[in-house]
Amino acid sequence: MIGVMISASFLMLAPFFLMLTTSLKSSAELKSIGFSIFPKEISFANYLVAMQRGKWVRYFYNSFVITTVTVLVSLVINSMAGYAFARLRFRGRQILFISSLIGMMIPPQTTMIPVFIMLRHFPLVGGNDLFGSGGIGLINSYTGLVIPFIAGSFGVFLFRQYYLNFPHSLDDAAEIDGVGKLRCFLWIYVPLSKPAFATLGALKATQTWNEYIWPLIMTTTSDMRTVQLALALFRDEHEIQWNYLMSATTIITIPLVVLFLFAQRFFVEGIVTTGIKG
């Protein structure tokens, strides 16, 4: 068993091993002919050099703000909708749910341009007048970077499937106590949903943190760059500075790894049963 686990994780991690060893190679070694897995001499200075190119504090701040806001807002609105679709009866539920799945089905490359035009003409912001002309709207703003991602059909679907698994006895108990549906959601379902919140939070954070195309078209100044856009600093037109690129890639992956380490204790926390007992 352990053997299977070790070899499986070795396979999974092998490509990253390449990433790490490359990030430690000196520029001279990378330019010399021939490829070796291990660096001839280890130069940790690459990490410093990479972070001194450009304004990384600013890029991290941008990515951090965008990711945090997107995750928090989408957790709230997705869990509410997921609960409604899983546990409440209302006219049009079926059709509303199915149409909400469309949000996952459409490739972002298709909606990108129409959304961009809409945000550009968002009224009363970015120098725009009431009719959405005159300025640049939400282009180059945090709001513009966040807003298209918070709908998240995916999250609604996840919460719905998750809540479908909850025993109906939970609702029955609440009904006997005379608790309304909204309170039932807030007091019973939400506290029991830590695994779902943690899962969606981690997935959503990953997606938002790694988004490339949308920040690319939405930002116009280097001060609004996200960490993913900033990686372009090491990809010149003619040459890729592999050691710096891989150093920076390692650094920008670390926050997500930390987040995952923090979140994973919820993934494996028994929930529903403890809920019934308590």
Partner 1 sequence: MKGRILLIVLLVSIFEAGLVGAGGKQEKPAEKKEPVKISFWIPGSDKASEDYFFEAAKEFSSRTPSIQVEVTILPPAAPDINTKLNAAKLSNTYPDVFSSFIVFIGARGIRGEFADLSPFIENWADKDDFYPSSFELGKYKGKIYGISYFPAPEILVYRKDFFREAGLDPEKPPRNWEELEAYALKLVKRDANGNVIRAGLDVPAINPEVFIKPFLWQNGAAVLDEEKELPTLDDPKALEAFQYVKRLIDAKISIPYDYQKKSDIPFIKGNAAMSFIMASTITSTLKSNPSLREIIGFAPPIERRKKVPFTGHRLFTIGATSKYKNEAWEFIQFMLSKEQMLKRSRLLDMPIVRKSLEQEYYKDGDAEFKKVVVEYSKLGKSAEVTTVTAISNKYLSDAYQAVYSGKSSPEQALKDAQEGILKDIKK
Partner 2 sequence: MRNTHPIAYVLILPFYVFLFFFILVPIGMNIFLSFTNYDLIQWEYVGWKNYRYLFQDSHFHLSLRNTSIYAFFTVGFSMVLGLGAALLLKGNPPGIKVFRVSFYIPYIASMVAVSMIWLWIYDPLDGIANKILNLFGVPSKQWLYDSRYALSCIIVMSVWKVLGYNMIVFLTGLQAIPTYLYEAATIDGATSFQKFLKITLPMLQPITFFLFVTGVINSFKVFEQVAILTAGGPSNATTTVVHQIYNRAFNEFSMGYAASMSITLLLLIAIITLVNYRYGNQGADLEIG
Q: Please tell me the distance from the alpha carbon of residue 195 to that of residue 263, in angstroms, as a whole number.
A: 8
Q: Which of partner 1, partner 2, none has residue 277 at its interface (CB below 5 to 8 Å by kind)? A: none
Residues in 4-43 that interact with partner 1 by CB under 8 A = 27, 31, 33-34
CB 208 within 8 A of CB 67: yes
Closer residue to partner 1 in complex, CB, 97/211: 211
Q: Please tell me the distance from the alpha carbon of residue 44 to that of residue 26, in angstroms, as a whole number.
A: 9
Q: What does the DSSP 8-state code read for residue 106?
A: S
What is the Cα Rg of the chain in Å?
A: 23
Q: If binding is defined by CB under 8 A, does position 52 make contact with partner 1?
A: no
Q: Please tell me the distance from the alpha carbon of residue 252 to that of residue 56, in angstroms, as a whole number.
A: 10
Closer residue to partner 1 in complex, CB, 136/203: 136
Q: Which of partner 1, partner 2, none has residue 239 at its interface (CB below 5 to 8 Å by kind)? A: partner 1
Q: Which of partner 2, partner 1, none has residue 94 at its interface (CB below 5 to 8 Å by kind)? A: partner 2
Region from 8-16, 82-90, 126-134, 256-264 binding partner 1, contact rule CB under 8 A: 126-134
CB 37 within 8 A of CB 49: no
Q: How many CA atoms lie within 13 A of 163 on its CB side?
A: 26
Give the largest CA-CA distance in the chain. Answer: 76
Residues in 160-219 that interact with partner 1 by CB under 8 A = 186-187, 190-191, 213, 216-217
- For partner 1, the binding residues (CB under 8 A) are 27, 31, 33-34, 53, 65, 68-69, 72-73, 75-76, 112-113, 116-117, 120-121, 125-127, 134-144, 146, 186-187, 190-191, 213, 216-217, 220-222, 224, 232-233, 235-240
